[in-house]
Homo-oligomer: A and B are copies of this chain.
């Protein structure tokens, strides 16, 4: 009998306690032995909670209990979460986490510490919520050189873009609705500015290319500038707009960036709507696989964290530590990556075709037009935008 502890009793922490109880037998089979909830670390009382006997306020109680083999960190942020994760590993306990900020910033350091102390450090829930994603990337696709990962990695922005697309809402209206439904925070900055997607992109890039990238160096552009006109014109051109995190292998480093993209309407990612997430992985042997599902939420995220707890217990003595790589991997400038572009502009058809040979603009209700360019890098694009009175430009996927 092994004990585990949950750090944090918010949405994910509560969901995790429920899921671990609900599927206790199945998880025991996966872990190879039964597992008992030892403690939940909280900051206040919950007198009515079914787990009130397990609540503790002092991490030292967990740290010093030799029966606790695994600690699930679902606090979030890089303060207490970082400190407790370190202390748990130093105390010889495996740590599992759904905290993308912590993994993106301190993951490689914690992984190295875990290796030194012979314990697992797993974080399936940090990217893609409940979607099986990191284990497939690292284990199932171990026979592949990973060449690219890209996906819809943030449910809030995907909800907003879907609402703008299908209901013609403005960004502000769609955001307000998302906040009412609990899909967006009161301060939505981390989601709508792409910061959350950036952290997940960093984790995917590190696992794929081993660069342990500095998250603050990853070019990140959110969806606040996307207008109803962009969605209208994208549709008319045969595309839809999605915020993508992308990371690609290159000869002398890797690309990693977060930007709105136009996706062809018949591409699988174009069907991923609302709060759903999806991630495509391109590998040398497999070609391309796409994994889709709920990218957030109490139970989906708990599903991922619970599987990590079972895996950590299963591998006591032979720890599982996904390789985030060595620091200072080379991040190439995203501007240099060629692609086709969507341009929203105010110009006559001949001006568009003059500046961008072959461009065939379609016109929207506002009188603005949209068209798709040939492949070029961002510098070449920007040099020509003035000639068409360009108001927006987004990359086209494929």
Chain A interfacial positions (CB closer than 8 Å to B): 15, 19-20, 22-23, 26-27, 29-30, 32, 124, 130-132, 135-136, 138-145, 266-268, 270-273, 283-294, 297, 299-300, 302-304, 306-307, 310-311, 314, 318, 323
Contact = CB atoms under 8 A, between A and B. Distances in A.
Contact of A286 (B136, B289, B303): B303
A316 to B, nearest CB: 10
A382 to B, nearest CB: 33
Given A32-B318, A318-B32, A143 B285 contact: no
A27 B271 CA distance: 34
Contacts of A270: 271
A381 B360 CA distance: 50
B271 A300 contact: no
A287 B130 contact: yes
A19 B271 contact: no
Nearest to A306: B143
B143 A26 contact: yes
B299 A289 contact: no
Given A136-B136, A143-B306, A268-B272, 15 more contacts: A19-B285, A27-B143, A29-B323, A130-B286, A132-B132, A132-B141, A135-B139, A139-B307, A141-B307, A143-B302, A143-B303, A271-B271, A285-B306, A287-B297, A288-B293
A300 B318 contact: no
Given A26-B145, A288-B293, A294-B287, A307 B140 contact: yes
Question: How many copies altogether?
Answer: 2
Given A132-B136, A292-B292, A285 B271 contact: no
12 contacts: A22-B145, A23-B142, A132-B136, A132-B141, A132-B291, A141-B303, A143-B307, A268-B272, A285-B299, A285-B303, A286-B300, A291-B292
Most chain B CB within 10 A, of A15, A271, A310, is at A271
Contacts of A130: 285-287, 289
A195 to B, nearest CB: 25
Given A23-B145, A26-B142, A140-B304, A292 B293 contact: no
Contact of A292 (B22, B283, B289, B297): B289
A57 to B, nearest CB: 27
Contacts of A307: 139-143
A205 to B, nearest CB: 16
Nearest to A294: B287
Contacts of A287: 130, 293-294, 297, 299-300
Contacts of A273: 266
B145 A140 contact: no
A323 to B, nearest CB: 7
A268 B285 contact: no
